[in-house]
């Protein structure tokens, strides 16, 4: 070997050298991935993370191959035109939680591959047309928690691929009807904590492919008719935390083909039955946290495909018979945390498909009406929240799972409804006065009281106006008319049976009594079998006596005059005359004039 000449590598080193060089190349950053100062970089993820570095400007020397750039929680104020033009490979840009108040048109030019842009928590007040130019691939845009007051026409016209727009927590007072023009592919839109006074119907009509719409924390009191027209592909609508929303107009949801509807934490006191009728494809309905007190019978029958109904945390006290008739696919019912005392099996179209039932948080009365739940408790899911009895005292506090399969005597039983007292009522009042027919029922559970009028009309506690049923079961007619006369029937009913009582009402007109002392024929025609008739007054009696006495006295006077004259003409011959008074025959017609009888004389 020549002195000073380099040594030939050994055969072992020659074999490992290529592998060593590849490993060293992987561990050392390439010149293209020189990381900016105060940032963290990953060549494997192609990301540059510069968040929370108190940066006032976009750092230089960002690798052009970067796909994820995080500049959140810094002090950036303005985005100038073309400031990201070198980052043509960028797919996600996070500018959240800065103090950006101005974005120049063209600031995002050349970002042809950008798919996600986050501008949450900045100081933006307005979005001008052209601000989002150069973003043909953008699918997610987050503008939440800014100070945007208005969306102008064509503000998003360059975002043809946008699918999700988050615009909550802004100061929005108006959305121009053409603001969303160009968003032909938008699938999700969220508007939350804005100052809108109505649903932006015109702007929403520019979104033909919108599938999910969330409107939260708005001060809208009425959901107007046709609020969501021209949204044929909307499948999920969420209306949440509208504290003043008390009215949903009948045609407000017309034209929608929803599968999920949530109107929660609002001020609805009744279920908007008419507005729900067109939603025949609805599968999930959530009306939780509204002051709804009742579900009425048969009013949800149009929701043929409904599978889930949630009504949690309200004031629900009544689920009427047949409330869920027509809902043959209902598999989940959640009415927890309400004021329900019972839930009868008759409320359901069928309980065969019911899989989950939430009754916890209700003051349940464990009588025969809930026996069906106890019998099915092995097959029903309570989602870990077992219902418990609030009454009667015998089982208070016991959970349904604690009962044995063979129930002891007196558990989950009912007592048939009965009316006290049972005797019929006879009531006569003057026309124009108030009439009251009383009816009090007893039973376990307490029966409901309804009345059947003489014209076969049912009167119940929901009736208002001149004729109404009071909470204690009394039927009250505020201004009684003659045509109100007749026989009314009180019906007390509960799940164990019913009881009936007749109540007779006669309403008379005082002006007719002066000419018709005993109007029995009229009272009989009204269906009153044995009415209580007011006695005629003293003046009426004296008049009747006078009318009968005058003809009688006149006849007697004529007879005595005739005898006197005859005796004068015959001398002093004495004759005997016998007088007989024959009263009127009882069978004489009442319509002919009468003098009370006839006088007969016989001479001897």
Evaluate whether 399 touches 374 at the Cβ level (below 8 Å). Answer: no
In a domain, 503, yes or no: yes
State whether 599 and 478 are in the same domain: no
The Cα 555–Cα 139 span in angstroms is 117
- Local structure of residue 566 (DSSP, 8 states): H
Taking the alpha carbons at both ends of the chain, their separation in whole angstroms is: 200
The Cα 217–Cα 242 span in angstroms is 5
In a domain, 7, yes or no: no
State whether 436 and 569 are in the same domain: no
Q: Which two tokens stand for residue 382?
A: 């309570």
HSE-CB at 469 with a 13 A cutoff on CA atoms is 21
State whether 452 and 566 are in the same domain: no
Q: Which two tokens stand for residue 209?
A: 């492919």
Q: Which of 510, 525, 540 is at the close of a domain?
A: 525
Residue 138: what pLDDT? 96
State whether 162 and 48 are in the same domain: yes
State whether 506 and 558 are in the same domain: no
pLDDT tens digits, residue range 12-39? 544 544 444 334 334 444 445 788 888 9
In a domain, 485, yes or no: yes
State whether 510 and 584 are in the same domain: no
In a domain, 384, yes or no: no
In a domain, 488, yes or no: yes
In a domain, 394, yes or no: no
Q: Where would I find the beta strands (DSSP E) of 2-149? A: 40-42, 47-49, 68-70, 78-79, 92-94, 102-103, 116-118, 126-127, 140-142
State whether 430 and 519 are in the same domain: yes
State whether 499 and 570 are in the same domain: no
The Cα 58–Cα 94 span in angstroms is 12
> The domain spanning residue 46 has which CATH number?
3.80.10.10
Q: Which residues of 180-215 are buried (b: 16+ CB within 10 A; e: fewer)?
A: bbbbeebbbbbbbebebeebbbebbbbbeebbbbbb
In a domain, 165, yes or no: yes
Q: Which two tokens stand for residue 199?
A: 């649903």
How many domains is the chain built from? 3
- Local structure of residue 521 (DSSP, 8 states): H
State whether 471 and 564 are in the same domain: no
In a domain, 338, yes or no: no
State whether 519 and 569 are in the same domain: no
State whether 590 and 484 are in the same domain: no
Q: Where would I find the beta strands (DSSP E) of 393-517? A: 415-420, 425-430, 435-437, 440-444, 448-452, 458-459, 467-469, 475-477, 486-494, 497-508
State whether 50 and 181 are in the same domain: yes
Q: Which of 138, 167, 196 is at the close of a domain?
A: 196
Q: What is the pTM of this model?
A: 0.71
Evaluate whether 181 touches 204 at the Cβ level (below 8 Å). Answer: no
Q: Which of 150, 173, 196 is at the close of a domain?
A: 196
> The domain spanning residue 519 has which CATH number?
2.60.40.10
Question: Which structural domain, as residue segments, surrounds residue 460?
Answer: 416-525
HSE-CB at 563 with a 13 A cutoff on CA atoms is 15
Ranges of residues in the chain with a pLDDT under 70 are: 1-32, 462, 513-604
């Amino acid at each position: 070997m020549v002195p000073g000449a380099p040594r030939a590598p050994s055969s072992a080193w020659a074999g490992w050298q290529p592998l060593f060089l590849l490993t060293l190349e992987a561990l050392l950053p390439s010149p293209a991935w020189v990381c900016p100062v105060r940032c963290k970089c990953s060549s494997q993820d192609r990301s540059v993370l510069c968040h929370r570095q108190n940066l006032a400007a976009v750092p230089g020397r960002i690798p052009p191959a970067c796909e994820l750039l995080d500049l959140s929680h810094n002090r950036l104020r303005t985005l100038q035109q073309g400031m990201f033009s070198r980052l043509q490979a960028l797919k996600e840009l996070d500018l959240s939680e800065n103090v950006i108040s101005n974005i120049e048109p063209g600031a995002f030019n050349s970002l042809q591959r950008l798919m996600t842009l986050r501008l949450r928590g900045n100081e933006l007040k307005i979005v001008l047309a052209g601000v989002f130019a150069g973003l043909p691939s953008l699918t997610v845009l987050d503008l939440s928690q800014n100070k945007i007051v208005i969306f102008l026409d064509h503000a998003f016209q360059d975002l043809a691929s946008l699918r999700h727009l988050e615009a909550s927590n802004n100061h929005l007072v108006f959305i121009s009807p053409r603001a969303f023009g160009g968003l032909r592919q938008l699938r999700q839109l969220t508007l939350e904590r804005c100052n809108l006074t109505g649903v932006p119907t015109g702007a929403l009509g520019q979104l033909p492919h919108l599938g999910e719409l969330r409107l939260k924390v708005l001060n809208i009191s009425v959901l107007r008719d046709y609020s969501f027209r021209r949204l044929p592909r909307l499948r999920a609508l969420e209306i949440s935390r509208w504290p003043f929303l008390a009215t949903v107009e009948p045609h407000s949801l017309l034209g929608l083909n929803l599968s999920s509807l949530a109107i929660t934490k609002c001020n609805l006191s009744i279920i908007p039955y008419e507005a729900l009728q067109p939603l025949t494809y609805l599968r999930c309905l959530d009306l939780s946290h509204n002051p709804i007190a009742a579900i009425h019978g048969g009013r949800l029958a149009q929701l043929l495909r409904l599978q889930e109904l949630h009504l949690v945390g309200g004031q629900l006290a009544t689920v009427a018979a047949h409330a869920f008739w027509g809902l043959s696919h209902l598999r989940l019912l959640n009415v927890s945390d309400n004021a329900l005392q019972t839930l009868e099996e008759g409320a359901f179209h069928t309980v065969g498909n019911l899989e989950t039932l939430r009754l916890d948080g209700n003051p349940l009365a464990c009588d025969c009406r809930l026996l069906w739940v106890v019998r099915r408790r092995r097959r029903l899911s309570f989602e870990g929240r077992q219902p418990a009895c609030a009454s009667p005292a015998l089982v208070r506090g016991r959970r349904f799972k604690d009962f044995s399969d063979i129930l002891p005597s007196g558990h989950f039983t009912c007592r048939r409804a009965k009316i006290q007292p049972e005797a019929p009522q006879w009531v006569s009042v003057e026309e124009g006065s108030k009439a009251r027919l009383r009816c009090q029922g007893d039973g376990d559970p307490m029966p409901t009281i309804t009345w059947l009028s003489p014209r076969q009309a049912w009167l119940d506690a929901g009736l208002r106006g001149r004729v109404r049923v009071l909470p204690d079961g009394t039927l009250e007619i505020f201004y009684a008319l003659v045509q109100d006369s007749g026989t009314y029937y009180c019906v007390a009913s509960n799940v164990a049976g019913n009881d009936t009582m007749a109540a007779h009402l006669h309403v008379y007109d005082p002006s007719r009594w002066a000419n018709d002392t005993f109007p029995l024929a009229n009272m009989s025609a009204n269906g009153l079998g044995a009415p209580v008739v007011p006695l005629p007054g003293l003046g009426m009696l004296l008049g009747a006596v006078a009318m009968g006495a005058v003809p009688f006295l006149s006849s007697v006077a004529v007879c005595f005059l005739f005898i006197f004259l005859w005796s004068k003409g015959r001398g002093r011959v004495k004759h005997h005359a016998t007088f007989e008074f024959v009263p009127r025959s009882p069978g004489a017609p009442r319509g002919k004039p009468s003098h009370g009888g006839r006088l007969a004389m016989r001479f001897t």
